[in-house]
Amino acid sequence: MSPLQDDRRRHRWEERAEWPLTAAAVLFLVAYAVPILVPDLPRGWSVAAEVTGWLLWAVFAVDLVVRLVLSEDRGHFLLTHPLDVAVVVLPLLRPLRPLRLLRLVALLSALNRHAADSLRGRVAVYVAGATTLVVLVAALAVLDAERGADGALITTFADAVWWSVTTVSTVGYGDLYPVTNTGRGVAVGLMVTGVALLGTVTASLASWLIDRVQDVQEEQQTARRRDVDDLRGQVAALQAVLAERGEVPDADGPVPPAAGTGRADGPQDGQEDGRRSR
């Protein structure tokens, strides 16, 4: 089977799995957020949320395996999808709380699939949605890491959201900051994401402004061409009228006299005789 045909098979799978994986990612976010937002959640609900998270992780693992099997060049696929591999493999090596954060990448990855090939006209909507999602996920992650730590400043969800917004916007007031290694790791990732998002917004705005300038220039050129065409039409009509009256000069000959006059190169004979009689 040729690589092109194989890519088509994998792309068909990804198109079919796009919305189910998106729903699974949203459900994973809910299962991840509920125990953090409700620390007094009954034991049964906490276990159910944990089991749901691992079952949804298994869904992403199955998706990765299927995509790998459908890939002709499996080595190239693994090299070009490192986050997908990390999300599936690393939580199995040492399922500690810091590695749980990696499973949130599955949410971003699944939601990013639909917008990966979007036109620039949809970039603004995607950036706004991605920013909101990143802020929410980072707030949950840092709250999960900081709550209960010695000297922690971020102890409520409101504080976590405020810290997340100031960090992703690269403002960083410094009134709140993480004290745990996991929280600092989340902060580093959020800083990098904030710089990337600001770069995307700046590039999109610059591209939009350039397109607007080009549109204005094209409109001006179109209007100028239209005016020139109108002038040409008027000149042609005037030439036609003058040609009917016989007043259009020959390009290679002398200028013809005006209507009702004698020679074109001197005064009329009557006028000349009158001046002589005087």
Alpha carbons 112 and 133: distance in angstroms, whole number: 11
Residues of the chain with pLDDT under 50: 1-4, 94-96, 116-118, 251-253, 255, 258-267, 270, 277-278
Alpha carbons 14 and 109: distance in angstroms, whole number: 12
**Closest alpha carbon to 88 in 64, 71, 55, 110:** 64
Q: What is the helix (H) or strand (E) element at residue 230, kind and residue range?
A: helix 181-245
Fold (topology level) of 118-210: Helix Hairpins (1.10.287)
Domain ranges of the chain: 1-117, 118-210
Q: What is the pLDDT of residue 118?
A: 47
Q: What tens digit of pLDDT does each residue of 112-167 get?
A: 555 544 455 566 666 777 788 888 888 998 998 898 889 989 999 999 999 999 99
Q: What is the pLDDT of residue 2?
A: 46
Q: What tens digit of pLDDT does each residue of 108-118 get?
A: 555 555 554 44
Q: What is the pLDDT of residue 4?
A: 46
